[in-house]
Amino acid sequence: MIAEKEKKVGRKAIPVAEKKIGCKIYLTKEQQEDIENYGVGASFSERCANLISLEIEKQKEEEADTVKIIDLFAGLGGIRLGFEQGLKKQGLHAKCVFTSEIKKYAIKAYQNYFGNEKIYGDITQIKTKDIPDFDVLLAGFPCQPFSSAGKGLGFSDTRGTLFFEIERILKEKKGIGKPAKAFLLENVEGLVNHDNGNTLNVIIAKLKGLGYKVNYKVLDSQYFGLAQSRKRIYIVGTLNEKVDLENFEKSTATFSDIMERGLPIIESTFTKKLFNNYSPDEVVGKSIKDKRGGKDNIHSWDIDLKGKTTKQQRDLLNALLCERRKKKWAKEIGIEWMDGMPLTVEQIETFYNNKNLKTMLDDLVKKGYLKYEHPKKLEDGQRKPDTSKPKGYNIVSGKLSFEFSKILSPNEMVPTLVAMDVSKLGVVDNGGLRKLSIREGQRLCGYNPDEYDLSILKENEAFDLLGNTVCVPVIAAISERVAMALKRA
């Protein structure tokens, strides 16, 4: 019987995934020596593969802890900065994959701090498909439409519709199966009550409609270790849970904690007249404006800024200052009430009787303390002179009419920084008066001036950005909770 042919025994087949392919690489002599020294393996090829595998694993671990963000309406990048700080406390790393901003000097400051990253312009001109996939959307969308400092037009203002750009991006990313895991939005406190709350209701409904668990709250920066009272609404949402915005740890500060000392003072007509009538200590904490009264207010006539006034004229101005705000005059004049209406000689005589009244009033008009004008009617949301009504006398100057609008007190916090008047905040220093410094402004918003350099900008540019920016520690505190939610997802 012929024996069966013995079966051939060969090497075991190697799975396709484990098959190795040859790759040609070019190395410097130093790189070759490093591979020989630090690599593990029987051959140079194995040592190369070992080092490459280790680096790949390291990159994968870092990627697992990385949260990709986009920064819209970025400004100085305060939301990004605070978000990075909050994530870091939870062992996560933020990677910004897209930034949008249109102000040239904001972009200059942003790139100077974060590096020369590409900054995209008008978000309305950018298609969602051109925005890299991301985990979290950050946006301090324009606040002027909802701000008391603006006209409060809300969604009827073209800037107000920019919220819908946020909605568009979130919606379209979700539509292609790449939904953002979370978002953090910031706006002015006025958004809460704008249009009797309808504007905010629309925003929240839109975000919830995209499947997010949404929460919002007005928070004041003064309780987050800053010497500025800045109330802002923060809107957050994640796909998996509602982020808690209650019971943050509180810490407080006063202006003296961040104040610079020994800076140059301003010698001007205004400061000379101010200190001819008051000592530096007496002006601390005072407001400088003509349209309000009270013990904490200094008026232009108190320092004869526009010309010499008599005691009788000052008494008249102080009386008119308060009386012109009373609602009874709107009814008598026949206009909708406004905060400060021109009154005729006959109307003024009812609360200030002086035989020389007309002469006194006309002299005050000539010097610029008063103006002689028609009452204003409300028309299309704006005040316009009603020439059918008789002219009357009214106070001329508001809080932005003078070189300084407020003298800060070292022992108190600073009122909300507003872009239009932050450069008019005064500080008593060196026995005189100076402006709030840019470095002080940065500290009031939580930017470390030793790290974030705004000296590359013009003063008015820096103050404009600081007046519109977020308070970094508040963002950081919220972001830490967002990070915790992301880790639980």
DSSP secondary structure code for residue 152 in this structure: -
Per the CB < 8 A criterion, the answer to whether 107 and 79 are in contact is no
For residue 486, the number of C-alpha atoms closer than 13 Å in the C-beta half-sphere is 29
| Residue 461, number of CB atoms within 10 A of its CB | 18
Backbone angles phi, psi at 296, to 5 degrees: -95, 20
How distant, in Å, are the alpha carbons of 92, 108, 214, 385, 427 from that of 480?
10, 28, 16, 52, 35
Please give the torsion angle defined by the CA atoms of residues 427, 432, 435 and 441, in that order, rounded to the nearest 10 degrees: -40
Give CA–CA dist 21/18, Å, rounded: 10
Give all strands of the β-sheet with 93-99 in edge-to-edge order: 93-99, 66-72, 136-139, 182-188, 231-238, 213-220
d(CA 484, CA 467): 31
Q: Is-catalytic flag, 143?
A: yes
Q: Answer yes or no: are the C-beta atoms of 194 and 154 closer than 8 Å.
A: yes
Catalytic residue among 48, 96, 143, 445: 143
Distance in angstroms (rounded) separating the CA atoms of residues 410 and 209: 47
Which residues in 229-255 are b (16+ Cβ under 10 Å) and which e? ebebbbbbbbbeeebebeebeeeebbb
Contact in structure between 473 and 447 (CB atoms under 8 Å): no
Contact by Cβ (8 Å): 482, 213:
no
- Give dist(CA 410, CA 399) in Å, integer: 21
Q: Would you please indicate which residues are annotated as catalytic (active-site) residues? A: 143
